[in-house]
Amino acid sequence: MIQDTFLVHHVLFWLKNPDSAEDLAALLEGIRGLGAIPEVKGVHVGVPADTEARDVVENSYHASEILLFDSLADQAKYQDHPLHHQFVADHSHRWAKVTVFDSVRA
């Protein structure tokens, strides 16, 4: 539940081969697997929504993950978890760019 979450980890991925349905499917499946890391309290895996084009809407990415954590310490454990390292090793060849937005409750 987002209101009970201390840290939101939002990551956008741009694929090297944006026309590859196989690369996108593999990346999305890999992201879903990150939910098995005990410190992850919630996972949202997505692709750009077909909303209206506006200057403030960023929809050039190909895949998105939102992971929820109870604490900064839990997010740090996630970064060092073997499943996270395996995800990067298995999928980093697929992306051209990654942008991370981490936010805490205000």
Q: Which tens digit of pLDDT belongs to each residue from 21-52?
A: 999 999 999 999 999 999 999 999 999 999 99
Whole-angstrom distance, CA of residue 73 vs CA of residue 32 = 21
Instruction: Report pLDDT for 5.
Output: 67
Per domain, the residue ranges of the chain are 2-48+60-104
Contacts by residues 52-60 (CB-CB < 8 Å, ≥ 24 positions apart): 58/12, 60/14
User: Rounded to whole angstroms, what are the CA distances from 101 to 17, 40, 52, 67, 88?
Assistant: 23, 16, 23, 11, 17
CATH class of the domain defined by 2-48+60-104: alpha beta
Instruction: Report pLDDT for 4.
Output: 63
- Total-model pTM: 0.92
